[in-house]
Amino acid sequence: MKKIPHGYHRLRWDDLEDWFEDAIIDRGHKYQMKGRVSDLSLTDNGDLIAWVSGTKRYATTIEMTDGEYLDSYCTCPYAINCKHGVAVVLEYLECLKKNQAVPVW
């Protein structure tokens, strides 16, 4: 787990670099930029969930524990902290940047 100080809204690129390998960040960024993240939602406990289109359509969840720790779980073969997780986090940050509401699931 990577410690993230202050929650999602404070998450920065440097935090992602600490959390993921560079190649995973690059691939996830490309997925997000190509619009492969869909149905992004927040759960009641603050987790992010979304579908990410890759080789198949994958369900991806991002959990933040105590506003400080991030983990991603995915139905892809990689399963944890994958490019799909990066794409979901970046999509959420883009929504925050644009003041777009993210629905509660």
Please write the tens of the pLDDT for every residue from 29-83: 999 999 999 999 988 888 899 999 999 999 999 987 766 667 899 999 999 989 9
Nearest one of 27, 80, 24 to 72, comparing CA atoms: 80
Q: For residue 4, what pLDDT is reported?
A: 42
Identify residue 80 by its one-letter amino acid code: I
Q: Can you read off the two tokens belonging to residue 36?
A: 């492969």
pLDDT band at 6 (very low <50, low <70, confident <90, very high): very low
- Rounded Cα gap, residues 18 and 45, in angstroms: 24
Is the confidence at residue 9, as pLDDT, over 50? Answer: yes
Domain ranges for the chain? 2-97
What is this structure's pTM?
A: 0.88
What confidence tens digit (pLDDT) does each residue in 80-95 have? 989 999 999 999 989 9
| In contact, 88 and 62? CB cutoff 8 Å | yes
